[in-house]
Amino acid sequence: MIKQEYNDHLRVLPGKKIHLKDFDTGWTQIEGLKEYGKDKLKEHVNILLQQNLVELTSAQQLLYADDRYSLLIIFQAMDAAGKDGTIKHVMSGVNPQGCQVFSFKKPSDEEMNHNFLWRYMKNLPERGRIGIFNRSYYEDVLVVKVHPELLKNLPDGKRNSAFWENRYEDINTFERHLVRNGTVIIKFFLNVSKEEQKKRFMDRLMRPEKNWKFSAADLSERAYWTDYMHAYEEAIRVTNTESAPWYIIPADNKWVTRALVADIITSTLRGLELKFPKLSEAQLEMLDEARKTLEAEA
Ligand code: AMP
Ligand code: MG
C-alpha cells in the first residue's frame, strides 16, 4: 500500500478552500519520495500498482458476495488528462460482470427534458457492483457553469451564484442519500497541467493512429482553462464531504495516476470489512443433504 500519508495528502480536507495551483500535477511535492529519483520511483510504483490490481480482483469478488454495498467511482478531468486510460488499466483485472462503466457526453433532448440528475440516477451501480462514471453530474456544475447557455428549458430565474449553490446542494443531498443506502462514493479529479495537455494534444495531432482522439472542441475548451479551474475549485470545495471525498490526483505522469487511483480504490474497499455471507443452520443442512445425495448416486 502506498503510505497512508500520501493518500491523506491527495484527499481534500472537508471544508478547506482549495487552490489547484497549490496541487502538484507531477509528483514532486511529496518530500518522502524525492530521494528515490524518477526511475526507481517508477519501478516501485509499478510494483505497487500490480499488487493493488491483484487485491482489487479479490476485493471485487467479496463486494459481490457480501452484497450490501455498491461502489461508485467518479472521474472528472480536463480533456486528455487520462480518464479513459486510467479506467482501462485500473479495471483490467476486474470481472466485467461486476463492473459497469458509463461515459456521459452532451445530454440528449430526452435527458434535457428531465432534472439534471436523472440520467446519472438511472445508471447507478447495483448492490455488490462497481459503477464507474467517466464524467458525471459534476459536469452540470463544470462545463455548464463555464457555458451557462447550455442551460435550457428551466424556469425563469437568474443563473447567479445562488443558482450554482443550489446545484451543489442538490449534489450533496443526492450523494448523502446514496451513501445512506449503501453506496460508497469515491471522486477523482485527475489534475493535469495546461502544458501537459498541450503535449498530449500535439501528440494526438501528430500521430495518425491518435488523430481520432482529437476533437475541435478540445481546443476551444482549452481557451476556458482558468474558468474551468475556478469551477473545479468551487465544486470540489463545496461537495467534498466525509462520506463522499474528493481526491486530487497528479495526472502529468500516467504511471503515477494509475497507481494512486488503484491504491485509493483498494484501500477504500479494504475499509469496508467485506465478508462472505454466513450460511444459516438450515442452509448448511441443505448443503449436507445435497452432498449425501450426490455421494449416493454412484
Ligand atoms: P469526451 O469525454 O471527450 O467524449 O467529451 C464529452 C463531452 O461532453 C465533453 O465536452 C463534456 O464537456 C460534454 N458533457 C458531458 N456532460 C455534459 C453535460 N451535462 N452538459 C453539457 N456537456 C456535457
Ligand atoms: Mg475528449
Overall domain count for the chain? 1
pLDDT, tens only, 85-97: 999 999 998 999 9
- For ligand 1, the distance from its centroid to the CA atom of residue 106, given in whole angstroms, is 5
Task: Give the confidence band of 149 by pLDDT, cuts at 50, 70, 90.
Answer: very high
Say if residue 28's pLDDT is above 60: no
**pLDDT interval class at 7 (50, 70, 90):** low
Task: Give the ligand whose atoms come closest to the C-alpha of residue 105.
Answer: 1
Give the model's pLDDT for residue 38: 81
Instruction: Return the pLDDT at 223.
Output: 97
| Most confident of the ranges 7-11, 40-44, 100-104 | 100-104
Please tell me the predicted confidence (pLDDT) of residue 2: 57
Measure 105 CA to ligand 1 centroid, in angstroms: 4
> How many A from CA of 91 to the centre of ligand 2?
20
Decide whether any atom of ligand 1 lies within 6 Å of the 107 Cβ: yes
Taking only the tens place, the pLDDT of each residue in 244-295 is 999 999 999 999 999 999 999 999 999 999 999 999 999 999 999 999 999 9
Ligand nearest to the CA of 221: 1
Q: Check pLDDT > 50 for residue 170.
A: yes
Is residue 101 in contact with ligand 1, taking CB distance under 6 Å? no
> Domain holding 137: CATH number?
3.40.50.300
**Interacting residues of 97 by C-beta distance below 8 A, sequence separation 6+:** none
Best residue among 84, 106, 218 to mutate for probing ligand 1, ranked by most atoms within 8 Å of CB: 106
Q: Which of 75, 76, 101, 104 to mutate to test the pocket of ligand 1 (most atoms within 8 A of CB)?
A: 104
**Nearest ligand atom owner, CA of 143:** 1
Model pLDDT for residues 284-297, shown as the tens digit of each residue = 999 999 999 999 99
Atom of ligand 1 nearest to the CA of 140: 19
Residue 132 dihedral angles phi and psi, to the nearest 5°? -110, 130
pLDDT digits (tens, 9 = 90+) for 183-204: 999 999 999 999 999 999 999 9
Band the pLDDT of 6: cuts 50, 70, 90: low
The residue nearest atom 15 of ligand 1, judged by CA position, is 105
Q: Report whether pLDDT(42) > 70.
A: yes
pLDDT of residue 33: 72
Cβ of 140 closer than 6 Å to ligand 1, yes or no, is yes
Q: Does 1 have pLDDT greater than 60?
A: no
Side chain identity at residue 108, one-letter code: S
Cell numbers that stand for 42 in this block = 517508477
* The pLDDT value given to residue 31: 66
Domain holding 273, by residue range, is: 4-295
